[in-house]
């Protein structure tokens, strides 16, 4: 899973969706991530070794099988749809959002990436809130807050300036409560928490977004951002957003770093994370020194 740690041979099960999905001779199961014809639905890793930092492998004291089947991928195969997000686990969420935003099927397809992010994140947030997790700046609460804020960001990209996540969460509850009754039991708490977090974050988002987009436009000029573009897809000579700019957005305006990175990539701009991390480390060191001085 990384450069070091448990590893071994693996056996994968792929579903052939048919030649109509093929994209040329390179479209083979080994390249399934980039080949829509073959969908990996199951993976079994036979854990035999531990890989060390120098690349050598030593036998594990106890061997095992790490196996995982993609439930939603299997559902997409059984239901004969193109992706996880077209199964009956997600289409009710899309439908609720489309009704709220007034989007027809063509508009939905044009904005599919943002719809999928909102559907996925609102579902995860609904379950976390039902399980008693609250938005916070640490631990599980931080994960929840990041999910909610990224969903809000994509709602903004769809043109929604008013709270909307409660509508998505309500669709999640209606869809999943048959199997997870506690979702319905905690409906009021879930919806109220989402509304409160959304109102709070929108103030941060509006101010930070204006500053960020001015900085990005200054680097690339008047170009149209590409939704879903990732940092790893950018050329090596792409413009760079400075670590100090990222730090200012985070420290002064409370703008989430992950959203800065995502928006920068969409504008074709790399981010100086090393510079940002150095500034964060320096700030933490100053905080520690301040704490010591106060104690003295």
Q: Look up residue 51 and give its two tokens.
A: 């890989």
Q: Which residues pair with 148 in a beta bridge?
A: none
* For range 180-189, the mean pLDDT: 96
For residue 175, give every residue at least 6 positions away whose Cβ sits within 8 Å of its Cβ, in sequence order, or none: 88, 89, 92, 93
Rounded CA-CA distance 275/249 in Å is: 14
Per-residue pLDDT band at 243 (split at 50, 70, 90): very high
Q: Look up residue 244 and give its two tokens.
A: 């100090």
Would you say residue 1 has pLDDT above 80?
no
pLDDT tens across 98-134, in order? 999 999 999 999 999 999 999 999 999 999 999 999 9
Would you say residue 294 has pLDDT above 70?
no
CB 164 within 8 A of CB 136: no
Q: Which residues pair with 16 in a beta bridge?
A: 38
Task: Indicate the range of 7-21, 91-105, 184-198, 281-295 predicted with least confidence.
Answer: 281-295
For residue 86, give every residue at least 6 positions away whose Cβ sits within 8 Å of its Cβ, in sequence order, or none: 76, 79
Q: What is the pLDDT of residue 292?
A: 52
pLDDT tens across 123-179, in order? 999 999 999 999 987 889 989 998 998 899 889 888 888 899 999 999 999 999 999
Rounded CA-CA distance 245/40 in Å is: 41
- The pTM score is 0.72
* For range 170-189, the mean pLDDT: 96
Higher pLDDT, 29 or 113: 113
Which three-class secondary structure state does DSSP give residue 40? strand
Rounded CA-CA distance 26/23 in Å is: 7
Q: Look up residue 46 and give its two tokens.
A: 């036979």
Rounded CA-CA distance 199/205 in Å is: 10
């Amino acid at each position: 899973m990384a450069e070091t740690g448990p590893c071994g041979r693996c056996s994968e099960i792929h579903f052939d969706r048919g030649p109509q999905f093929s994209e040329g001779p390179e479209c083979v199961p080994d390249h399934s991530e980039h080949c829509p014809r073959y969908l990996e639905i199951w993976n079994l890793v036979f854990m035999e070794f531990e890989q060390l930092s120098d690349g050598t492998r030593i036998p594990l004291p106890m061997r095992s099988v790490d196996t995982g089947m993609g439930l939603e991928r299997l559902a997409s195969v059984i239901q004969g749809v193109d992706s996880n997000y077209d199964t009956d686990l997600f289409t009710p969420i899309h439908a609720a959002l489309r009704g709220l935003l007034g989007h027809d099927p063509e508009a939905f397809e044009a904005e599919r990436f943002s719809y999928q992010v909102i559907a996925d994140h609102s579902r995860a947030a609904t379950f976390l809130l039902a399980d008693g997790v609250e938005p916070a700046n640490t631990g599980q609460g931080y994960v929840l807050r990041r999910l909610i804020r990224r969903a809000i960001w994509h709602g903004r990209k769809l043109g929604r300036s008013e709270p909307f996540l409660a509508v998505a969460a309500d669709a999640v509850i209606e869809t999943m409560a048959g199997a997870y009754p506690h979702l319905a039991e905690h409906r009021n708490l879930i919806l109220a928490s989402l509304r409160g977090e959304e109102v709070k974050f929108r103030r941060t988002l509006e101010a930070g977004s204006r500053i960020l987009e001015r900085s990005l436009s200054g680097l690339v000029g008047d170009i149209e951002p590409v939704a879903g573009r990732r940092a790893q897809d950018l050329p090596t000579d792409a413009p760079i957003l400075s670590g100090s700019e990222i730090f200012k957005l985070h420290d002064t305006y409370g703008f989430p770093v992950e959203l800065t990175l995502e928006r920068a990539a969409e504008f074709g701009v790399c981010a100086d994370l090393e510079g940002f991390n150095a500034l964060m480390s320096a700030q933490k060191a100053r905080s520690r020194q301040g704490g010591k001085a106060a104690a003295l």
